[in-house]
Amino acid sequence: MTETNDMPQTTPKTGDNAAAIPALAVRNLAVHFGKNKVLKDVTIDIAAQAVTAIIGPSGCGKSTFLRALNRMHELNPDAHMDGDIRLFGDDIYARHVEPVVVRRRVGMVFQKSNPFPTMSIAENVTVGLRLNGMKDKKLLAGRIEQSLQMAALWDEVKDRLNAPAISLSGGQQQRLCIARALAVKPEVLLMDEPASALDPLATQKIEDLIIDLKKEYTIVIVTHNMQQAARISDFTAFFYLGELVEFDRTKKIFTNPARKQTEDYVTGRFG
């Protein structure tokens, strides 16, 4: 009985960031698609400039949770959301806030790399800026290098920026997608299993990159790979059946979780 009473810890002590305002403050988030309830009453604070991993078995609602953070779930016309999400204090679901604006502040990288096939490497990086009206060639050129540097892709592609994006390897394409997301300078980067379709070497590059990026960005990453969560994240949230079961420092989740369910999952006993 004591177990059910102790609520998931929503604001873990974060040391340096303890006093800082959370990048994303989620309160009582519930999402359903038609009659299908996918997320129930999720309350969580996501720390800025840290990596937060979302783990849980398939269908537990982790992708939906991620997509609610930049309102991508609204692409499904049956989606309905309750609760409150604040991005550095701003209500992203406030009536006058357009999803387009939210998504410029909260970028996203998908499981399957999806560079635009009609565009070159450089064009892919700048597409978010250009289609939002930026025309300054110098600025765009600078942003190409900067973003590709940040995505650890610059050295591999600097001699062929005008080559088609889809001529890159799978791992390079995914880093290009990361560069594309970074180019619009989001505050938060959401990653939905960004390395699950890649080989171990490419995966490692992405992981190194994520650790690097957290110096400047807040990263929320959904992963099926428990070792990956343990390797790269500072905080881990375990979702099960649409509920947030436990949220704490990654170290605690993987060594001494408060809930039996969490322990069973991270030790591979179910899921």
Partner 1 sequence: MTASNHHWRQFKNLFMQGLTLVCAVLVVLPLLLVFFHLVKEGFGALNWNFFTKLPKAVGEPGGGMANAIAGTFILLGQAALVGVPVGVLGGVYLSEYGSSKLNWWLRFAADILNGVPSITWGIVVYALMVVPMRGPSALAGGVVLGLMMIPLVMRTTEEVLQLVPAGYREAAFALGIPQWKTIVQIVLRTALKGIVTGVLLALARVAGETAPLLFTAFGNLGWAHSLKEPIAALPLQIFNYAISPYDDWHRQAWAGALVLLLLVLVINVSVRFLTRDRFGKRQ
Binding residues for partner 1, rule: CB under 8 A, are: 70, 72, 75, 77, 99-105, 107-108, 110, 112, 114, 116-118, 127-128, 131-132, 164, 166-167, 177, 180-181, 184
**Residue 123 neighbours by CB under 8 Å, 6+ apart:** 116, 130, 165
Q: How far is the CB of 118 from partner 1 (least distance, A)?
A: 5
Q: How far is the CB of 100 from partner 1 (least distance, A)?
A: 5
Q: How far is the CB of 167 from partner 1 (least distance, A)?
A: 8
Q: Which is nearer to partner 1, 11 or 167 (CB)?
A: 167
How buried is 134 (Cβ within 10 angstroms: 0-12 exposed, 13-18 middle, 19+ buried)? middle
**Residue 268 neighbours by CB under 8 Å, 6+ apart:** 226
Q: How far is the CB of 33 from partner 1 (least distance, A)?
A: 15
Encode 219-248: b = buried (16+ Cβ within 10 Å), e = exposed: bbbbbebbebbbbbbbbbbbbbebbbbbbb
Q: How far is the CB of 11 from partner 1 (least distance, A)?
A: 28
Q: How far is the CB of 105 from partner 1 (least distance, A)?
A: 8
Sign of CA dihedral 104, 105, 106, 112: positive
Q: Which is nearer to partner 1, 206 or 266 (CB)?
A: 206
First to last CA, the chain: 24
Q: Which is nearer to partner 1, 30 or 127 (CB)?
A: 127
Neighbouring C-beta atoms of residue 143, cutoff 10 Å: 22
For residue 91 the two structure tokens come to: 């209500």
Q: Which is nearer to partner 1, 191 or 266 (CB)?
A: 191
In Å, how far are 57, 245, 258, 271 from 241, measured between CA atoms? 8, 9, 18, 11
